Amino acid sequence: MALQRWLVVSLACFHAAALTIPPSCNDSHVDLSRLDVSMDPMEALSILQQATMRNLYLEEQRSMPQRSTCSLENAAYREHLCPRERKGFIQAVQCLRSKPSIADPDFAKAARTRYDDFTAVHVNLTNFIHGTGSFLTWHRYFIWSFEKALRDECGYAGYLPYWNWFSHADDPRNSPVFDGSDTSIGGDDAYFPHNGSAAFFGYVPLPPANGGGCIASGPFKDIQATIGPIAAGMSGMEPPVASFHEYNPHCIRRDLSPHVSSRFFTTANLLNLTMGDASKTSKSFQDEFNGRPQDNGFMRLHSAGHYTINGENTDIYTSVNDPAFVLHHAMIDKVFWMWQVLHPAESRKVAGTLTLQNNPPLGNATIYDPLIMGVNADTRMIHELMGTMDGTSLCYIYA
Q: What is the pLDDT of residues 239-272, one digit of tens each?
A: 899 888 999 999 999 999 999 999 999 999 999 9
235 inside domain: yes
pLDDT tens-digit series, residues 220-243: 999 999 999 999 988 888 789 988
Longest dimension (CA), the chain: 61
Please report, for residues 119, 321, 396, the alpha-carbon distance to residue 131 in angstroms, rounded to integers and kept in the order given: 18, 20, 25
Q: What is the pLDDT of residue 294?
A: 53
Q: What is the pLDDT of residue 291?
A: 61
316 inside domain: yes
The residue count of the chain comes to: 399
Containing structural domain, residue 328: 82-362+369-380
Structural domain count, the chain:
1
20 inside domain: no
310 inside domain: yes
Reading phi first (left if > 0) and then psi (alpha if -120 to 50, else beta), residue 222 is in left
139 inside domain: yes
Say yes or no to pLDDT of 17 above 60. Answer: no
Q: Which of 127, 137, 121 is nearest to 367 (CA)?
A: 137
Residue type, 368: Y
Other CB atoms within a 10 A radius of the CB of residue 38 amount to 7
Q: What integer best gives the mean pLDDT of the chain?
A: 88
118 inside domain: yes
44 inside domain: no
Q: Which of 271, 276, 17 is nearest to 164 (CA)?
A: 17
Please report, for residues 76, 139, 241, 395, the alpha-carbon distance to residue 385 in angstroms, rounded to integers and kept in the order given: 15, 10, 34, 10
Say yes or no to pLDDT of 22 above 50. Answer: no
| CATH number for the domain harbouring residue 187 | 1.10.1280.10
157 inside domain: yes
